[in-house]
Amino acid sequence: MSGNEYLTPKSQDFNEWYNSLVLKAELADYGPVRGTMIVRPYGWALWENIQQALDKRFKATGHQNAAFPMFIPVSFLEKEAKHVAGFAPELAIVTHGGGEELAEPLAVRPTSETIIGHAYAKWIQSYRDLPMLLNQWNSVVRWEMRTKLFLRTLEFYWQEGHTAHATAEEALEETHRMLGVYTDFAVNEAAIPVIPGEKSENERFAGAEVTLTIEAMMGDGRALQSGTSHFMGQNFAQAFDIKYQDTNNDWQFCWTTSWGLSTRFVGAIIMTHGDDAGLIMPPRLAPIQCVIVPIYKNDGEKSDVIAAAESMHQELTDLGIRAQIDRREQLSPGFKFNDWELKGVPMRIEIGPRDVQNKALVLARRDQRGREGKQPISRDQLAVVAPELLRQIQASLLQKASDFQDANTFAVADYAEFKEAVGKGFARAWWAGSSDDEKRLQEETKATLRCIPLEQPGAAGVCFYTGKRAEKIAIFGRSY
């Protein structure tokens, strides 16, 4: 039996569908400590492709990679009041090492603003040292009570960028630039439409003056915060004495930013594109873009079919396509088809003795199951058709996800419409409420203000909740 025959249908129980799919597709497993996650090779291969796509963009915008320690003196975290207040409930504290009690407790890194601030204070002395543009790939620990594989785990993998600038304008420009990088990555690599916007004060990162976000709609209509970029103002610069001498030899505090995207994005890919048969990987990020399934009944047929499969594998590899031959014995072609559908491989090639004889093959696309998605072609067409088919699948996934988001985003004018909308997807509404109004709204509906979109209509309206004049449209939704 193949794994997808046991998958709970998405429409029946989205949560159970997600959990079982992560396990059956061999993306991840549960760790021995409650709330921890083991990322399996297939899941890590997807994360590596995410890393490469982002890392290329970071370096193109002038950033360099570095590495900082995972142990942070608790006193560092206490230097920025809002920061420590925000993270205190989630900290893992080390009190003993080498069999002895430590002179000062150490926090296992929940994020690195403080330890990087400490280093920047030593490294930055002059305006010539600016801007300082660093990124690190690491894991962080946040002691979450309610966990879910990839979406929320005690330890998760991410990148965190940290930059220091001479002026507020430069730092704000960086904050927006990196949100643009995340938006470009989400849309063009992951085929996930996102809404770039600003978080409300209630939802802001602890210690930030501005938090920007990309918000995505999952397959059940819920929101997933998929990447954030923070303008820290001078809060951390003042806390850690990050100063530089300007051209007049006067000392000035720097302006800093931080920005991050994590393995939560793997969850976004699963929940945006997956269906009842399993994963659907966007071709640009798929660990395996094309699987070749040789079909034969005996050793006489096997040698010719395998030779044809190897020839195609080499040709696809030369084209830069990540391809794999399924050489597993004692498994039926039907089992293999289902198994690769479960794993979401975008394109499958079926090749049997008659195909070899006729110099033909069948291409099957994962986003269109059954006969509709099967395309017989001649063998000499492969080099042209395969790359084009992958492009089509990538575009099709983005279009389908965009259509779903549009169909489940509702413009609301009053509270009754709002409550109905957040039960299905996103509510898009004029907003002039206070932080207290926002908290009340969350208590009453379990919906949060996801973001104030950066793109605004430029007019004014009436707030659906307070009845006041409103100048901003906001997006609300229930989230993960």
Which pLDDT belongs to residue 206? 87
Percent of the chain whose predicted confidence (pLDDT) is above 90: 93
3-state secondary structure of 271: helix
> 444-478, pLDDT tens digit by residue?
999 999 999 999 999 999 999 999 999 999 999 99
Q: Which of 477, 469, 479, 475 is nearest to 455 (CA)?
A: 475
The CATH class of the 3-273 domain is alpha beta
CATH of 409-477, one of 1.20.1250.20, 3.30.110.30, 1.10.260.40, 3.20.20.70: 3.30.110.30
Which pLDDT belongs to residue 231? 98
DSSP 8-state code for residue 391: H
Note the CATH number of domain 290-389: 3.40.50.800
| Dihedral angle over CA of 104, 110, 113, 118, nearest 10 | 20
Examine the pLDDT at 391 and tell me if it is beyond 50.
yes
Which pLDDT belongs to residue 85? 75
pTM score: 0.96
> 87-122, pLDDT tens digit by residue?
788 999 999 999 999 999 999 999 999 999 999 999
CA distance 150 to 298: 43
Examine the pLDDT at 4 and tell me if it is beyond 70.
no
Q: Long-range contacts made by residues 92-99, C-beta under 8 angstroms, separation at least 24?
A: 92/141, 92/143, 92/154
Domain parsing of the chain, residue ranges = 3-273, 290-389, 409-477
Which pLDDT belongs to residue 5? 59
Examine the pLDDT at 163 and tell me if it is beyond 80.
yes
Which pLDDT belongs to residue 64? 98
> 17-35, pLDDT tens digit by residue?
999 999 999 999 999 999 9
Which pLDDT belongs to residue 166? 98
- Fold match flag (3-273 vs 409-477): no
> 348-368, pLDDT tens digit by residue?
999 999 999 999 999 999 999
Which pLDDT belongs to residue 1? 43
CB neighbours of residue 470 within 10 Å: 20
CA distance 316 to 55: 25
Q: Can you point out the beta strands (E) in 240-341? A: 243-245, 251-253, 255-262, 290-294, 323-325
Examine the pLDDT at 155 and tell me if it is beyond 50.
yes
Paired tokens of 64: 């360099």
> 216-243, pLDDT tens digit by residue?
999 999 999 999 999 999 999 999 999 9
CB neighbours of residue 52 within 10 Å: 12
Q: How confident is the model at residue 144 (pLDDT cuts 50, 70, 90)?
A: confident
3-state secondary structure of 163: strand
> 262-303, pLDDT tens digit by residue?
999 999 999 999 999 999 999 999 999 999 999 999 999 999
CA distance 160 to 135: 6
Which pLDDT belongs to residue 67? 98
- Residues contacting residue 249 through CB under 8 Å, at least 6 positions apart: none
Q: How confident is the model at residue 80 (pLDDT cuts 50, 70, 90)?
A: confident
Paired tokens of 401: 């996800």
CA distance 463 to 456: 15
Q: How confident is the model at residue 6 (pLDDT cuts 50, 70, 90)?
A: confident
Paired tokens of 51: 């890393």
Q: How confident is the model at residue 182 (pLDDT cuts 50, 70, 90)?
A: very high
Which pLDDT belongs to residue 83? 74
Which pLDDT belongs to residue 252? 98
Which pLDDT belongs to residue 2? 46
